[in-house]
Amino acid sequence: MKVVKKTAEYRILQRRDGRYAVRDRKRRPINGEAKVEILRAEGLISAPAPRPQEEAAEASPEA
């Protein structure tokens, strides 16, 4: 793995298949939303924006 960026809080690594791994100071993996937020903040990925929530009144038909 190649080190892409190293900060005081975490390390971003690029795997040979092009995907990214994020590890904390103690070399434990960071996954899930925290990983996505770190990679988006660094500009390495562009995750799609979340879908807007429909209002409950529009979703349920009234009789």
Q: Does residue 5 register a pLDDT over 70?
A: yes
pLDDT of residue 16: 95
pLDDT of residue 51: 78
Q: What are residue 21's DSSP bridge partners?
A: 13
Enter the pTM of the model. Answer: 0.69
What is the tally of structural domains in the chain?
1
- Give the domain range for residue 24: 2-45
Residue 30 lies in a domain: yes
Per-residue pLDDT tens for 8-48? 999 999 999 999 999 999 999 999 999 999 999 999 988 67
Residue 7 lies in a domain: yes
Q: Does residue 54 register a pLDDT over 70?
A: yes
